[in-house]
Amino acid sequence: MTGKVYLVGAGPGDARLITIKGKECIEKADAIVYDRLASPRFLQWVKSGTKKVYVGKLPDRHTMKQEEINQLLVDLALEGKTVVRLKGGDPTIFGRVGEEAELLYRNGIEFEIVPGITSSISVPAYAGIPVTHRDLASSLSIITGHESPDKLDRMIQWDKVTHATGTLVFMMGVAKIGYISQQLIAHGRSPQTPVALVRWGTRAEQDTIVGTLADIEEIVRTTGFQAPAVIVVGDVVRQREHLKWAEKLPLFGKRILVTRARSQASTLVSRIEELGGEPYEFPVIETVKPTSKQMVDQLHQAFERLNQYDWVFFTSVNGVDFFFRHLNELGKDIRALAGARIAAVGPATASALRERGIVPEVLRERYQAEGLIEAFGSEMKAGQQVLLPRGDLGRSWLPEELNRMGLQVTDVKIYETISCAEDDHELCKLFDEGGIHAVTFTSSSTVTNLIRALERMGGDALLQRLRECTIACIGPLTADTAREAGLNVSLMAQEATIESLIEVLCEWNKDEPRRHRK
């Protein structure tokens, strides 16, 4: 049975700017064919077993010729696969989708074109430039600027294009900016016409320069401005002075590596995005139910005695989640803990309990194990029973201290933390190019497992890049682990919460110089 091909526009770069239908296509694909301009985050949505083929083009080489890409789509569909061809921006605007679709048609293969948000309008918008304006420009032209001057002259009627619309948008024309400016001036545009070039729009490397037709070539040369960029010509460029909203966001210009388990990363990722940063998810750990018979037996024994505990201490959101999973699987409910005092370490853990109908006692000071003793130590009595449901990597300090105080502790391992980092060549490239500006660690296990993953993928060279990055830790224990591993911890949350971690990142970015990928 022949498969089907979806020719999907991925948008300008920010993964959130893909359409809902585009995301749905990626999620159901058996094979995905993608290029350099597609965000690597899209690949996180593919189902297990999906074939991934990179066909991106770099300035100095072509990974695969266009004719070969066309044939690849045909071949994959003839294998019966649902294929997604993921293209930056909108596939119908200088995306050569017509050539790909034509060959699919000639081979009798079903296909759909899924439009995307074109960079010709979205990239200027992120730079504070609306391409039309009631008082300044009521029309728009989108023109390729990528070709050689002689080919540009054959394709573009400069005498007509120059004044055809209020705004002219040239795609991929940085190297030809001098020639483009000369032609527009020669055919009647004022040399003082405003021009903006927006590079890597909607991404962490977004950069904008502004000039006029008369001086923009010199500005490009002196600043070392490089492709890829969108060129906007017209009076709408003046709007940027008041409307450059993206650059005012607290984390604008920063790509931040998120290493925590994907099941826990959503809050951190969302906050980074809301504040103008670009999160790069690379989960290095995963939490799973206990696998050894010994751990399972101990868990069952602990849950059989739920009505005997005087205290239950939850030290993490994971502890809450897995506790209730086991509770449900064992056919029990929370009424078994009616006689116990339930305490939570940290506001996130407390919130997870409240979502399940439990109002816990909450620490007011330190959001870690020591805080439990500080808060409730005077109320604990020798001989009382304590349940400590937590992961297999929990520190020994708390149960040891409770035992020293004469309490009887059941320290039950209700989940395990395992390494799950997969090789990620895009991440290696970003590290090598200085494209990772900060790395966040939310536990000691994220530190050790990221280091192991980078050692496996790139050895000492990658580890050196990690040492050059800004390191942000959620608390002192995590920071100690990072320092012991040779990392330079420059940021640490005031409280062991995601929001506090975000706050120190925003403060850091106020004065941090921008770094850009070439």
Number of C-beta neighbours around residue 501 at 10 A: 25
The answer to whether 155 is a known catalytic residue is no
Catalytic residue among 30, 35, 90, 207: 35
Number of C-beta neighbours around residue 191 at 10 A: 11
The answer to whether 172 is a known catalytic residue is yes
8-state DSSP, 137? B
271 CA to centre of own chain: 11
Q: Exposed, middle or buried by CB within 10 Å (0-12, 13-18, 19+), for 493?
A: buried
Q: What is the DSSP string of 257-269?
A: EE-S-TTT-HHHH
Contacts 24+ apart (CB under 8 A), 483-488: 485/447, 485/448, 485/451, 487/447
Catalytic residue among 64, 172, 405, 457: 172
Catalytic residue among 4, 21, 23, 57: 57
Query: CB neighbours of 10 closer than 8 A, spacing ≥ 6?
Result: 18, 22, 34, 37, 38, 39, 42, 86, 87, 88, 89, 116
Strand partners for 167: 140
Distance between CA atoms of 272 and 276, rounded to whole angstroms?
6
8-state DSSP, 302? H
Distance between CA atoms of 191 and 211, rounded to whole angstroms?
10
Residues with a catalytic annotation lie at 35, 57, 172
